[in-house]
């Protein structure tokens, strides 16, 4: 395994590459990034050596520190997604020398140009831009987490009220 240091930006680029290569869905990519953001609010892991990352220990500290600030179901949801994302990322780092870069052809519809897959510098530029939507988990019942997806990050009160009205109408 490498002696590389962990950074959130490298992790986010990895997740974007996995989505671009169609290894994970858009929803899962969003959930993995959201879980990472939640965990690092409580447990600082940037600049930790890749070899030193202990997922169970990080999740344990996160659960202790987030308890009382989030529901147990939300903590469990983020813990599972964080664990999944980190396992994928650490496995990727472990086999970094063996990994083959995915070459996919994509079409730029505005110019109708066929080009090779996005190069890392372009991915970095895309990752610097804020995501336009997100997936938001809502622990509804003890064994049920409902996800609202494609919520804009700049959701207005009027839009939220409209969503509430639709959901309320479903219950009547």
Domain presence at residue 152: no
Q: How many domains does the chain have?
A: 1
Identify whether 168 is part of a domain: no
Q: Output the pLDDT for position 98.
A: 57
Please state, as a whole number, how many other Cβ atoms lie within 10 Å of the Cβ of residue 147: 13
Statement: the pTM of the whole predicted model exceeds 0.95:
no
pLDDT tens, position by position, 103-118? 444 444 443 343 344 4
| Any domain includes 73 | yes
Q: Is residue 2 part of a domain?
A: no
Highest mean pLDDT pick, 18-22, 48-52, 81-85 = 81-85
Question: From the centroid of its chain, how far is CA 63?
Answer: 18
Q: Are 151 and 136 in contact (CB under 8 A)?
A: yes
Domain that holds residue 16: 8-132
**pLDDT band for position 156 (cuts 50, 70, 90):** confident
> Does residue 141 form part of some domain?
no
For residue 166, being part of any structural domain is answered with no
């Amino acid at each position: 395994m490498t002696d590389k240091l962990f950074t959130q930006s490298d992790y986010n680029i990895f997740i974007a590459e996995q989505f671009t290569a169609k290894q994970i869905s858009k929803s899962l990519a969003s959930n993995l990034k959201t879980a990472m953001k939640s965990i690092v609010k409580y447990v600082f892991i940037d600049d930790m050596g890749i070899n030193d990352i202990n997922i169970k220990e990080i999740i344990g500290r996160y659960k202790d520190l987030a308890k009382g600030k989030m529901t147990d179901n939300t903590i469990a949801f983020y813990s599972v997604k964080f664990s999944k994302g980190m396992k994928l990322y650490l496995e990727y780092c472990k086999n970094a020398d063996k990994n083959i870069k995915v070459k996919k052809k994509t079409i730029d519809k505005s110019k109708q140009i066929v080009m090779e897959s996005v190069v890392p510098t372009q991915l970095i530029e895309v990752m610097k831009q804020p995501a336009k939507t997100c997936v938001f988990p809502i622990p509804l019942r003890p064994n049920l987490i409902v996800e609202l997806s494609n919520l804009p990050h700049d959701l207005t009160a009027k839009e939220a009220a409209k969503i509430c009205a639709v959901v309320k109408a479903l219950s009547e």
